[in-house]
Structure 1
Amino acid sequence: MKSQEKASAAGGVPAVEARDIVKRFGPTTALNGAGIAIAEGETHALVGRNGAGKSTLVSILTGLQRPDEGEVRFAGEPAPPLADRDAWRRRVACVYQKSTIIPTLTVAENLFLNRQTERGAIRWRALRTRAGDLLEQYGVAVDAEAMAGDLGVEQRQLLEIARALSFGARFIILDEPTAQLDGPAIQRLFERMRALREQGVTMMFISHHLEEVYEICQSVSVFRDARHIVTAPVGELPHQRLVDAMTGEATAAYAYRSRTVPASAPVVLAARGLTLAGRYEAVDLEVRAGEVVGLAGSGSSGKVGLAETLVGLRRADAGTVSVGGAAVRPGDIPAALEAGLGFVPQDRHREGFVPLLSIAENATMPIARKLGRYGAVSPARRRERGARMIAELDIKTTGPDQPVGDLSGGNAQKVVLARALADDPRALVMINPTAGVDVKAKHALLGAVEDAAGRGAGAVLVSDELDDLRICDRVLVMFHGRVVKDVPRGWTDTELVAAMEGIEDR
């Protein structure tokens, strides 16, 4: 039974459906006869590997792209013309992984951007009152007068949802909404989603975290290689069958490698007495050559701030960082990189790459000085190194000259890791390196980290994913800014989560 037939059988005319969609970009077919149908008031998951066609479908469902073939319908009616943006906003909105909130405007200004007034001068007090009423209606605990740039990721997402609903849209697309949230924030988001569903809002939920699909969604559609593969209620599609549908083959769990780090191995990265007010205090850390050390904890544990201090993004109030036994100047990113650190930042869109530059240009930034003479970079040598990195990390691309902004999320993240590895670093610092990538890309990224450890690099891996942390030789658990437990490999989920949540006798 096709996806639209399933939705119709479940509850009449679908709230939204795309039928037989074909979309080509030059020689590349991004969607090939694909479709989806979502029943009114349903939370419907769309899953698939990076490059499966999910993003292209989103652009078509939101009126940003016109399909070459096929049609989109809302509540049985044809979609409006692409030029009628107001009509599209009344039907659908997307909360992207990359926020569209303008940080230099207030919450109220973001909520009513380009519609502050119907005519005449803006009445600011009335605007703030309208914004406050809207935020209260949808349960968003944010001050309407606050600057949007001061909001956290969770608050920005809820603000975008409230803004979408204020246009009258009853169909919301959530694209990787949990990629940058910790456990408690994810649960709060899910509570809001459940409340919206009770109000009749229809949602399409895109995520690579399949456990979330089973927790929050009623049905799921799988795309693979630009085609629709299957649609089913989540209760009728067990986890392994879902993964197999995504990959087209039986996919084994990641095989974590056995590794022994001798006590005599040199310390390649160390921190002594690091303190940053409001984030962490008195942290000591040692990472030996060939060792992978995890940092785990809630969003308020201080783990991200600590990692960013190690590479110079933040300047500690007290304490020292050393690489290879030599102290690194606090808050100096170039000095940290020069000392031999490779870094994978938390937000690849803002900090990880330059989207308009090519794969080769992005991946070779740390070694540009080595690719030519007298300050000039040899394009041929840059492309050659880029091609080598593409092969080593299995980056799906047309070649080293393709802009990184054209890649899928998983392949863009591989470019970020390629850049971190480009200068054969002594140590890596990585923050949520597998966020927003599919299962095969995740395996490739974790494998590259283990390869680097096998060559003698040390690594600090910050992750909200327990499966990521399984490659670690030990995991340091942080709670309210302090390291409270050093857990060796072989831990259970219950043991680690209990320490992270502060509910065990430490």
Structure 2
Amino acid sequence: MSTAAVDSTDTASWAARVAGVSKTFGATRALRDVHLDVATGEVHALVGRNGAGKSTLVSILTGLQAPDSGTVELGGAPGPSLADREAWRQRVACVYQRLTVIDELSVAENLFVNRQVIGGGRVISWKRLHAKAAELLGEWHLDIDPASTARDLTIEQKQYVEIARALSFGARFVILDEPTARLDGTGVQRLFERIRALRAQGVTFLYISHHLQEIFELCESVTVFRDAQFVRSGRVDELSRTTLIEAMTGEKVAVRSDPRPPAPGRLIEGGLQLDGLSGSAYEDITLTVRPGEIVGLAGSGGSGKFEIAEAVCGLGTPSRGTVSIDAKRLRTGSVPRAQRAGVGFVPKDRHREGLVDGLTVGDNATMSVPHRLGGHGWVSPKRQAAYAQELIRRLDIVPPRVDQPAGELSGGNQQKVVAARAIADDPKVLVLMAPTAGVDVRSKESLLATAVEATERGAAVLVVTDDLEDLRYCHRVSVVFRGRQVADFEDQWDDRDVVAAMEGVELSDD
């Protein structure tokens, strides 16, 4: 099945072509004879579970790695030599999930970083730099003040700055790596509108995402990788969701059963209790999560849901109200105090707040439980390794090595390591913030199964998310909008009602 209706003999019809590419790192085969054809002027999706080889292909497409074998063509010409970074920037750009915008610089400085001298000379003309930045932003219809500080931009605006910077080099082929992982629903739609507008202006996109609904909404073509190999390509409108998932997983899609554990009895006491909790981003939040229960806290960006969760975990301090664990009031504002009270948590940003890239999987997973690994201030390496290995088994972390550097894992497995640390001390309350953002389908199931397992051990679980799939695991859902609880759903609910509450709208009865 061809990826697009173009003449294969017309090299100008292809923004990128990869043929027979393989790549090995030591004993690990990262890519095995893969190919990819991206037609000029389309939005082409690249999908696959974590570890499928997507990141390795991106590094080859952007000239950061050379393939062991095979060929790469960009715009009908062979890829430049790795040393010629300028030539690569002129042909292809990548906007990564971890943005590279420098918060301390202005938008104009970010757009022309290391190129601040405009029009020759040796001295920076700030007037000329800002004028050039305004011209670039205007060319791509981006309503951003070039003089504003990047720190003051939203995640969405920072992505636009990265795209504009890439286009300023002359590249018309842009790779977007999980661009919606940190956006709310309205932000996603605005991004899609911007992508469609840029496509109409002649920009081609390779779109990488774990959210399959985005693929069907935005993309014309899709290529699937699995286990470092090419599986299939095709027109999106010719593939069903079931076919796509089966291609990604290599398994038939079964009818889903209810993933939730049995609901706890109404009279069970203890767990997590929020009473009249208020802070700068939320007001008068009252919520109960009983032992053995999974409760969802849902809301779009700016709803205050993460700030509420952070108050429970010690990452934030409410201005009034109380947090109680098993009927004992928690003195908020301290992560160690929250952990001693029995709170385990997965933060909303695993890169900035969760994972320590330079440490091993074993060190990351067990850093919160030194009291379980030895006595008198000493940690037994043997006991630590055994405990970490058990956590690796419970979370199905791949590769299953205690000494594996955590920063070298795929995104889904990095998130599993952060989750392993959250459950390492068998918490009474487990808080999962955006637990499945930027991970593949199988990793999502594994991470949410951790929530189910925690309830079987008697924990109260709070899942903080705007992902409807995550909410399937919840017994109840409370929705916050602009810092206030606006709706509660129990047992069964309609996704439309939840989304409407999250967006602050009411559905008509007809």
CA 344–228 in structure 1, closer or farther in 2 if over 3 Å, else same: same
Opposite residue 430 of structure 1, the aligned amino acid is L
Measured in 2, the distance between the counterparts of 1:421 and 1:7 equals 54
SS at match of 2:141: coil
Aligned to 2:475: 473
Once the two structures are TM-superposed, the CA of residue 10 in structure 1 deviates from its matched residue by 9.6
Structure 2: gaps of 5 or more residues:
none
Please show how residues 5-16 of structure 1 align to structure 2 within 5 Å.
8=8, 13-16=13-16
TM (normalized to structure 1)? 0.96
Aligned to 1:244: 246
Structure 1: gaps of 5 or more residues:
none
369-378 or 221-230, which deviates more: 369-378
SS at match of 2:323: strand
Matched, 1:74 2:81: no
| Residue of 203, 207, 224 corresponding to 1:205 | 207
Please show how residues 334-483 of structure 1 align to structure 2 within 5 Å.
334-483=336-485
| Residue of 294, 309, 312 corresponding to 2:311 | 309
Opposite residue 466 of structure 1, the aligned amino acid is L
SS at match of 1:213: helix
Opposite residue 265 of structure 1, the aligned amino acid is I
Asked if 2 retains the 8 angstrom alpha-carbon contact of 1:7 and 1:14, the reply is: no
Asked if 2 retains the 8 angstrom alpha-carbon contact of 1:108 and 1:145, the reply is: yes
CA 244–10 in structure 1, closer or farther in 2 if over 3 Å, else same: farther
Opposite residue 211 of structure 1, the aligned amino acid is Q
Measured in 2, the distance between the counterparts of 1:192 and 1:9 equals 31
SS at match of 1:267: coil
Opposite residue 175 of structure 1, the aligned amino acid is D
Aligned to 1:263: 266
Once the two structures are TM-superposed, the CA of residue 300 in structure 1 deviates from its matched residue by 2.2
Asked if 2 retains the 8 angstrom alpha-carbon contact of 1:11 and 1:39, the reply is: no
46-55 or 279-288, which deviates more: 279-288
SS at match of 2:369: helix
Matched, 1:20 2:15: no
Q: How big is each residue's C-alpha offset from its partner over 1:324-349, in whole Å with a ceiling of 9 and x where there is no partner?
A: 22222222111111111111111111
Asked if 2 retains the 8 angstrom alpha-carbon contact of 1:4 and 1:14, the reply is: no
Aligned to 2:98: 98
Opposite residue 44 of structure 1, the aligned amino acid is H
Q: How big is each residue's C-alpha offset from its partner over 1:1-24, in whole Å with a ceiling of 9 and x where there is no partner?
A: 576997738996411111111100
- Same amino acid, percent of matched pairs: 52
Measured in 2, the distance between the counterparts of 1:505 and 1:25 equals 53
Asked if 2 retains the 8 angstrom alpha-carbon contact of 1:8 and 1:39, the reply is: no
Please show how residues 49-68 of structure 1 align to structure 2 within 5 Å.
49-68=49-68
Please show how residues 189-338 of structure 1 align to structure 2 within 5 Å.
189-252=191-254, 254-255=256-257, 256-277=259-280, 279-338=281-340
Measured in 1, the distance between the counterparts of 2:2 and 2:393 equals 38
Aligned to 1:83: 83
Measured in 2, the distance between the counterparts of 1:7 and 1:380 equals 61
CA 258–336 in structure 1, closer or farther in 2 if over 3 Å, else same: closer
Measured in 1, the distance between the counterparts of 2:452 and 2:10 equals 46
Matched, 1:110 2:83: no
Asked if 2 retains the 8 angstrom alpha-carbon contact of 1:7 and 1:38, the reply is: no
Measured in 2, the distance between the counterparts of 1:253 and 1:449 equals 21
Measured in 2, the distance between the counterparts of 1:20 and 1:6 equals 20
Q: How big is each residue's C-alpha offset from its partner over 1:376-405, in whole Å with a ceiling of 9 and x where there is no partner?
A: 222211111111111111111151110111
Measured in 1, the distance between the counterparts of 2:11 and 2:498 equals 43
TM (normalized to structure 2)? 0.96
Measured in 2, the distance between the counterparts of 1:44 and 1:498 equals 30
Measured in 2, the distance between the counterparts of 1:431 and 1:139 equals 34
Measured in 1, the distance between the counterparts of 2:337 and 2:200 equals 53
Measured in 2, the distance between the counterparts of 1:391 and 1:4 equals 43
Aligned length: 505
Asked if 1 retains the 8 angstrom alpha-carbon contact of 2:246 and 2:252, the reply is: yes
The root-mean-square deviation of aligned C-alpha atoms, in Å, is 1.8
Measured in 2, the distance between the counterparts of 1:257 and 1:341 equals 21
Measured in 2, the distance between the counterparts of 1:366 and 1:383 equals 14
Q: How big is each residue's C-alpha offset from its partner over 1:440-467, in whole Å with a ceiling of 9 and x where there is no partner?
A: 1111111111111121100111111111
